Chain A
């Protein structure tokens, strides 16, 4: 099973700042089949990024994904108040596993 480790566990930033979230895989993710989701309290996860760097429909361009192999990054260029949430990475190259999440909180 591919284990995904996200860091940091909690990230405290202010609106307008840049957020960088990391996801490291225990083995190479085939074809860079890596997705990112945003989850707010009481809501289901929302797809942000798939294929490591492709934005899902309707996702603002301040969200970007990068990386390959075992190291992936989600970047939010300028934080809006609605971006404070929990973020999960997900590999779907071999079976399906998720990271434990990064909580992005207001500083």
Chain B
């Protein structure tokens, strides 16, 4: 069974960066892409970007271009998302989500990581 387990909650100061991890098991990343989606209070989900861990190809939403980096460590089946220059409006729950093979929809999700930006 596919499982995605994310790192724990973070509290960060404005202007700093956060790095969240997503470890897959049960064949989670076999040729599939992994995306990051955030859910801020009172808003719908927002896709941030994704990566295909098998070969490292990444793509980002224009909204986050230049501020986010998504990387993968195939040896540990872990995908990372780093978001820089944090502002208060980056306070949200961040999810990693696996795309069904060559599909685009998200069939498995991590449990979510709350990132709070506070001075």
Contacts and interface: CB of A to CB of B under 8 A. Distances in A.
Interface string B76-119: 00000000000000000001010010011111011110000000
Interface of A: 1, 4, 6, 33, 35, 37, 44-47, 50-51, 56, 88, 90, 92-93, 95-101
Interface stretch (B23-31, B40-48, B66-74): B40-48
User: Which range contains the number of B residues in contact with the other chain?
Assistant: 20 to 34
B27 to A, nearest CB: 15
A4 B110 CA distance: 24
Contact of B47 (A44, A93, A96): A96
Contacts of B46: 98
B95 A44 contact: yes
Given A96-B35, A99-B44, A44 B110 contact: yes
Contact of B45 (A45, A51, A56, A93): A45
